[in-house]
Structures are given as C-alpha cells and as structure tokens.
Amino acid sequence: MTTQRLPLPRQVPRLVVRSPARRRGLPGAALVYGLGALLLLCAVAVATAAGSASIGLGDTLRILIDSLPLVELEQRWTDAEATILREIRLPRVISAALVGAALSAAGAIFQGVFRNPLVDPFIIGASSGAAFAAVIGFLIAPQAGFIIYGFSWVPALAFAGSLATVLLVYFLARSDGRVAVTTLLLAGVAVGAFLTASMSFLMLTQSDSQFRLGAIFSWLLGGVGTVGWEQFLLLGPFVAAGLLVARALAQPLNALALGEEHAHALGVRVEGTKLALIAASSLMTAAAVAAAGLVAFVGLVTPHVLRLLIGPDHGRLLWASALYGALFVVLADLAARTLLSPTEVPLGVITGIVGGPFFLLLLRRARGQYVF
Amino acid sequence: MSSSAPPLSGMDARADSTAPALALRDVHFRYGGAPLLEGVSLEVGAGEMVGLLGRNGCGKTTALRLITGTRRPRAGVVRVGGRDRAAWGRRELARRLALVPQELQVAFDFTAEELVLLGRGPHMGWLRGHTRADLDAARAAMRAVGIERFASRPYRQLSGGEQQRVALAMALAQEPAVLLLDEPTHNLDLAQQSLFFQALAGLTRSRGLGALVVIHDVNLAARWCDRLLMLAGGRIIAEGDPWAALTPDNLRRCYDIEARVLPHPDNGRPQVFLSQG
C-alpha cells in the first residue's frame, strides 16, 4: 500500500502557543484591565472635580480620600464643598460609570447571543419600550411626586416599560420551547417600530405641551441627571448581578459562537443559556435606561473596540467592556456638563459625536483584520 | 489501543463496556406528516469507522441529529455506551459523542486554539475556566491532527482543509468514545480530503475511537471506511464491508444508478464507475 502518511509528529517542537490573549501581538488581558482601571480612577477624579462651583483637583482628592472609611484627613475645605462633592457630583459620576458599564456589557452579551455585529442593548425593545412608557409618564403626570427607590415617576416607568417590552418580544418569538434568534431580532424590530410610532402619535396629539416635548426630547437623548445616592441602590445591584450572571455563562456564550447546534453538541443547555443571558443584559439595560435615558452608541461600539484589542473571548470581553464602557460614559458626561456650561449637552449627543468617528478610525486602522 | 493513548472517558462504571459505543434500535422519525426514518438500526463499535451513504434528503443528517439529541425519535431507542441517550446528562453525553459538521460556522475571530479549547467545555465546569490539564489536552488534540503550527491563527483565515482539521481537533478535545461526522470533507480538495481521512483513520485505530461518517463520495467511503451502511426509503438497505455493500445491485437500490464496481489498482478496495447512458 503506497498511501502517503500525514505528517504526524514524530518529534514535535515545543508548541509555541501563548495564552490565547497574547496572539497576534495583542496586549495581555492584565495590561488592558490595569490600564482601564487606572484611567477610570483618573477620569472619576477629574469628573468629580469639574463643575460650576470650582473645587480644585487637590481638594477633590483630599475630600474623596477623607470619605473613605478609616481615613481621616485634616480638614482644609468647607463643609459646603464636601457636601457638593459627596452628595451631588460623586453620585452622578458613579452613576455615569455604572450606566456605561451596564450598556457596554449588555451590548457585548447581546452581540454574542445574536452572533450579529449590528446588535446593541436596545435591539429587542429595551429602548422603545422605555421611551414609550416614559412619554406616557411625561404626558400624564410630569410632576408626579412619588418616588420609587429614588426614581421619580418617569424613570420608574421607563424601567418597567423596558423590561415589559423585552419580555413581550421574548415570548412572541418563542415556539415549541425554543427561541430562534432571528425571530427574536425580527420581533424586536417590529415591536420597536410599533412602539416608536405610537409614541410619536402620542406626542403629536399633545398640542399644548411645548415644554414637555422639550423635556421628552432631552430624556430621549440621554443624560445622567441623578442627585444623591438612592439611584445607586438600584443601579448598583442590577449591574453587579448582571455582570456576575454573564461572567458565569461566558464559556457557554463562547460556544454559542459556533451556532446553537454545535453548542448543544458541546453539552451547552442552549435555550436556558440564552434566556439567562438575555435576562441579565436586559435588566442591566433597563436599569441604565432608568438612570440615564437612551444613551446611544455606547453599547454598540465599546464591545467592538475591545474585541479589536483583546480578542473575542467573552470572559475577558465582558469585564473589559464594563470597564471601558464606564470610562467612556464618565468622560462623555464630563464633556456634556462642561462643554457649553452652564447649558448641558445631552449625553447621547456626545457619545454619538465622539464615539462614531473614533470607531471608524479604529476600523480603518484594523484594515480588514477585524472580522466579526 | 496503543498504551500512549489517553484513556477514553466513555468508559466508566455506568457505561457497559461490552455494549457497542453507539447503537440505534428500530428508530422512527417523521417531519410533519412525511415519515423519514422507518425502523433504522445500526451500531458503531470502538475503533471502527462506519460510513453512512444515501441520497440527499434520505435522512442521514437527521439520523445524526437523533443521536446528538437536537431531534427526538418517534419510536425506537438511541443507546450510547449501552445506555439510553436520554439517561445521560447533557455534559456526560458531550464527553462520549463529538460532532464534526460539514463546515463549522464561527462567529467572531476565535483562534484555532481557542476553538479547540471550547471542545474542553464538557470537561471544564463552565465557572472554573480551563486548567493546565485542559490546555494540555487541547494541545495534544491539535498535535494529533497536525494543526499545532497555526494554533494561534484566527480560524476564519485558515483554508477549508485546515478549518476542518480544527473542527476535528475540537471534537478530539472532548475525548469522546464516538465521533459523528457530517460530510466532513464535502468542501475540500482531493489532497485535503485524503489528509483529513488519514488523520481520522489514524485516530480510530490508535485510540479505539468509533466514527460514524455521513458521506456522499462512495469511492472515498470505500477507501477509508471499515463498514458501510446504505440508507434508502427510511431503512438501512445494505450493510457490510465495502465490497459487500457497494454492489451494482445495492447502488441501484440506493441511488437509482447503473454502475460497475472494480478493485482499486493500488489497494484493492472497490471503486464505483457510473455506466454510460
């Protein structure tokens, strides 16, 4: 028999397989995390220092450090300054960070589940449901006084509307105990179109509400308008829980990149994994929408940028997306507050204007190396 | 099985070591109203490469789906290691059966090594991530199919033949008892087809792996498979070693073709030639 043998290794050279993150000269995950954490800390400090009542960066740092438990510094600042910092600026900056982390991580998860690059956290109705509910809130009772978890009427409605819409879309797309992702996408787009049209109709019928329309538009464009720490109590746990659930499912999510049939052959509980991931990211998205309205572009672009930097593994991608998403929104919110001060630019305007060109620049530099 | 081969995870207390690695018994299946499989029985033993032949749409791929469990038979039973497949846990099953698809569609830019590591999933515990042992197993699998050179290259930049060997390495990393292959060389050129089957045949022999290969190319099947099954009209109409299965009569019943069967000049295996007209 004269078959040629496959060059099976007789003497195998020691494999030059580096840790998967270090391929193609990509920076190691530790560098990406470390740099991200450092940049985020700097951004938080600068963003907290900036504002209409000028408190120097040095004093800001001293007040922040003094606020830490077990640390007591000699007080060289006024109580008013400390209050502005601790009760107004810092909560807002932290909220911005959590909104960015939530939207970016949710974007990474949704893109993974749908195996689709055009997906953002709002794809299956989270934004249109929130917007529809919020508009109802503005029109019915703009000044409604009651507060839920530090949220007034409109954000609370937005949160509920967002989750309710995602649930509706999920069950519309479900048949025989399965949810096909294409059906889910299409159902999300259809329900979104319906709700957006209904919202526009509602707004047009309100002829006397110039003032409210302005408020609605500024909410739709997004902005962190939080004061005090109550919102943190809602946003914080949702983001933490969402990130932990998603992290636990990062490996099955990687397997889903091979398609559902192959993931099944690898022992993945496909439907359960999809449901848990969609639930985790929808809760994060709804919490972010309640806190900051519809901040565009963050959840779409941040995961793409990070895949360019550290590769597609969802375990790393999730943390990195949360970290850099937080950084992105903290800086964007800083710009929103300071660019045209005292007028505030909507946050979504900043993220779009800055994020779009930045992403295009990266895409051009990747020169076709980046395949989704 | 050579002594250097890793132990098969398919062998534990609950798997009957005397039973065939994979067995279908009188399996029936229909899509909607039209019956597709009407009493299919087959076995795949350890170290055996079995080819499953049949026309398009005759139910070959469906038979694989009944084994992996994405479809359920209407009647009959699928046994893995002597035990009903439904009685195994999802991940236990993924340590006994591994799938090599016609073409692995990979979203995102995963490298070959990252994909092969995904094959360790059923061993890993999703929470824990991969250990040193998983990394070693993945590398051994890559070495076994000769893809260690491009371990760190993105899967989608590889050629079709390289991609299929990545899929094979990924299946090996699951350390299964049986490989299920769905037209694994369908998109490959002649040389790559040969390379792929050489690697596969080496593995079934050296590791005692069973393989069930859905395949269209009868001559490739005759060259590499130990046993062939011909599926037509929802049943296995012929079964046996290549010479026993590939008779002109069976080819007529299976494919509705007139053909002659002659021995290969080099290896004496049967070769099928379509008759004129």
- Residue A69's pLDDT is what? 73
Interface touch B198/A20, C-beta < 8 Å = no
Mean pLDDT, rounded, for A100-128? 89
- Residue A54's pLDDT is what? 73
Least confident among A45-54, B44-53, B207-216, B229-238: A45-54
Interface touch A372/B109, C-beta < 8 Å = yes
User: What's chain B look like in SS3?
Assistant: CCCCCCCCCCCCCCCCCCCCCEEEEEEEEEECCEEEEEEEEEEECCCCEEEEEECCCCCHHHHHHHHHCCCCCCEEEEEECCEEHHHCCHHHHHCCEEEECCCCCCCCCCEHHHHHHHCCHHHHCCCCCCCHHHHHHHHHHHHHCCCHHHCCCEHHHCCHHHHHHHHHHHHHHCCCCEEEEECCCCCCCHHHHHHHHHHHHHHHHHHCCEEEEECCCHHHHHHHCCEEEEEECCEEEEEECHHHHCCHHHHHHHHCCCEEEEECCCCCCEEEEECCC
pLDDT tens for each residue of A58-86: 888 888 888 777 777 777 788 888 888 88
Question: CA-CA distances (angstroms) from residue B253 to A56, A211, B246?
Answer: 89, 80, 11
Please tell me the pTM assigned to this model: 0.86
How much is the CA Rg of chain A, to the nearest whole Å? 23
pLDDT band, residue A227 (cuts 50/70/90):
low
- Residue A362's pLDDT is what? 74
- Report the distance separating Cα A98 and Cα A168, nearest Å: 26
Q: Which residue has the tokens 């055996």?
A: B48
- Residue A8's pLDDT is what? 41
Kindly provide the b/e burial profile for residues B5-16, where b requires at least 16 CB atoms within 10 angstroms of the residue's own CB. eeebbbbeeebe
- Residue A56's pLDDT is what? 80
Residue B16 has pLDDT above 80, yes or no: no
- Report the distance separating Cα A113 and Cα A253, nearest Å: 7
- Residue B102's pLDDT is what? 92
Measured between beta carbons, the chain A residues lying within 8 angstroms of B90 are 267-269
Residue type, A123: I
- Report the distance separating Cα B186 and Cα B106, nearest Å: 18
Q: Which residue has the tokens 């999730």?
A: A318
- Residue A43's pLDDT is what? 95
User: In terms of CA atoms, which chain A residue is nearest residue B113?
Assistant: A20
Residue A22 has pLDDT above 50, yes or no: no
Tokens of B206: 């050296």
Q: How many CB pairs below 8 A link A and B?
A: 130
**Complete edge-to-edge strand list for the sheet that includes strand B34-44:** B34-44, B22-31, B75-80, B83-84
Residue B274 has pLDDT above 50, yes or no: yes
With CA atoms as reference, report the closest residue to B161 among B181, B185, B180, B183: B185
**Sign of the CA dihedral running B123, B129, B135, B139:** positive
- Residue B220's pLDDT is what? 95
Tokens of A359: 């992403």
Least confident among A134-138, A168-172, B63-67, B180-184: A134-138
Closest CB to B109 among A9, A261, A311: A311
What number of residues does chain B have? 277
Output A53 or B240, whichever has higher pLDDT. B240
pLDDT tens for each residue of B129-161: 788 889 999 999 999 998 999 899 999 889 999
Question: CA-CA distances (angstroms) from residue B49 to A17, A308, B168, B202?
Answer: 32, 42, 15, 11
Q: Which distant-in-sequence residues (6+ apart) come within 8 Å of A25 by Cβ?
A: none
Residue type, A319: W
Mean pLDDT, rounded, for A330-340? 91
- Report the distance separating Cα B115 and Cα B256, nearest Å: 41
pLDDT tens for each residue of B91-112: 999 999 999 999 998 988 899 9
Q: Looking at CA atoms only, how far is residue A177 from chain B in angstroms?
A: 13
For chain B, what is the mean pLDDT?
Answer: 90
User: In terms of CA atoms, which chain B residue is nearest residue A250?
Assistant: B126
Tokens of B33: 């109203």
Closest CB to B68 among A258, A265, A370: A265
Output A137 or B60, whichever has higher pLDDT. B60
- Residue A142's pLDDT is what? 54
**Residue of B2, B85, B109, B124 to mutate for A, most A C-beta atoms under 10 A:** B109
Output A184 or A52, whichever has higher pLDDT. A184
- Report the distance separating Cα A322 and Cα A103, nearest Å: 8
- Residue A226's pLDDT is what? 63
Tokens of A210: 């110039």
Residue B228 has pLDDT above 90, yes or no: yes
Output A147 or A220, whichever has higher pLDDT. A220
- Residue A6's pLDDT is what? 44
- Residue A224's pLDDT is what? 81
Q: How many CA atoms lie within 13 A of B228 on its CB side?
A: 28
% residues pLDDT > 70 (chain B): 92
For chain A, what is the mean pLDDT?
Answer: 82
Task: Name beta bridge partners: B84.
Answer: B79
User: What value of ipTM does the predicted structure carry?
Assistant: 0.89
User: In terms of CA atoms, which chain B residue is nearest residue A257?
Assistant: B107
- Report the distance separating Cα B115 and Cα B101, nearest Å: 14
Listed by number, the residues of chain B in 199-258 with a beta carbon closer than 8 Å to a beta carbon of chain A are: 199, 202
Q: Which residue has the tokens 């746990």?
A: A237
- Residue B15's pLDDT is what? 64
Residue B2 has pLDDT above 60, yes or no: no
Residue A23 has pLDDT above 70, yes or no: no
CB atoms closer than 10 angstroms to residue A81 = 17
- Residue A151's pLDDT is what? 57
Residue type, B88: W
- Residue A289's pLDDT is what? 87
Mean pLDDT, rounded, for A222-243? 82
Residue type, A150: G
Output A9 or A353, whichever has higher pLDDT. A353
- Report the distance separating Cα A365 and Cα A113, nearest Å: 27
**Sign of the CA dihedral running A258, A259, A264, A267:** positive
Closest CB to B199 among A6, A257, A307: A6
DSSP A89: I
Q: Is A34 helix (H, G, I), strand (E, B) or coil?
A: helix
- Report the distance separating Cα B22 and Cα B220, nearest Å: 23
- Report the distance separating Cα A214 and Cα A220, nearest Å: 10
- Residue B74's pLDDT is what? 92
Interface touch B99/A265, C-beta < 8 Å = yes
Maximum mean pLDDT: which of A226-235, B27-36, B160-169: B160-169
pLDDT tens for each residue of A27-38: 677 888 999 999
- Residue A208's pLDDT is what? 64
